[in-house]
Amino acid sequence: MTYRVIALDLDGTLLTPQKTILPESLTALQRARDAGVKVVIVTGRHHVAIHPFYQALTLDTPAICCNGTYLYDYHAKKVLESDPLQPQQANQLIDLLDTHNVHGLMYVDDAMLYQAPTGHVLRAENWAKSLPESQRPVFRHVDSLREAAHEVNAIWKFALTDEDTTKLKNFTQVVEQELGLACEWSWHDQVDVAQIGNSKGKRLAQWVESQGLSMSQVIAFGDNFNDLSMLESAGLGVAMGNAVDEIKARADLVIGTNLETGIAETIYKHLI
């Protein structure tokens, strides 16, 4: 099989815990691009929160953001395709968040909005402040997410966090049963809530087909449950060594952790 696309999750996969890209990965990905392979970021992140990585990779492909909710063209600075939440759906979710005392970020347009400065929010803001201003994502405090939901153009997703993961797991069941929205774990203590039907795998397949290619020609790298849809539909689905066992069991290949050079080694073995 000749692979023509490399699909990369960011957190826990391409990125180290310090939010850097290993130099070995950068070199291998550049060599793959020089050989004509397309490299695409497929992330749970907002497009405003991947600037430093997109630029480090010097990509020319659009980015798949918020677990497949939308496809973003960095060079044209516009959304190409999207399936956002509707304001009414957002309000129903906000009602449940208030009832169950769960906090979350609301990803909209070009920013991430929050009411309560949770530990997750503060860590994300501190990371943002460490970046050059041109690469800095926007986190904005609002008095009311409910009001903000009616003032924005698009609501991409909600990122919910809680140290009590049992509470969070139970809450996702309520959201799925009562609202019919999609809940995907993107970190050990984070669940993303988005429009039903959105997934990394679905949006990636649409883009791959638009390039005249098929998913059998894709190598996808990931580490968490929100990556399963692309790992299982790619020609070669690669799980990181730091992934949970359920992800490893459903991948075609398991490599080293995001602190090791497995991504580069896999590229050299299968593409170059």
**Distances from the Cα of 130 to the Cα of 19, 26, 43, 113, 248, angstroms:** 11, 21, 21, 19, 33
* Paired tokens of 100: 């169950």
Rounded to whole angstroms, the Cα distance separating 144 from 153 reads 16
* Paired tokens of 84: 């956002």
Q: What are phi and psi of 133, to 5 degrees?
A: -55, -35
Residue keyed to tokens 């391409």: 14
Reported as half-sphere exposure (CB side, CA atoms, 13 A), residue 162 has a value of: 18
Reported as half-sphere exposure (CB side, CA atoms, 13 A), residue 233 has a value of: 19
Q: Which residues touch 155 (CB under 8 Å, ≥6 apart)?
A: 84, 85, 86, 87, 89, 90, 106, 107, 108, 149
The answer to whether residue 9 is catalytic is yes
The dihedral over CA atoms of 232, 262, 245, 120, expressed in degrees to the nearest 10, equals -100
Q: Which of 9, 11, 192, 223 is catalytic?
A: 9
Active site residues: 9
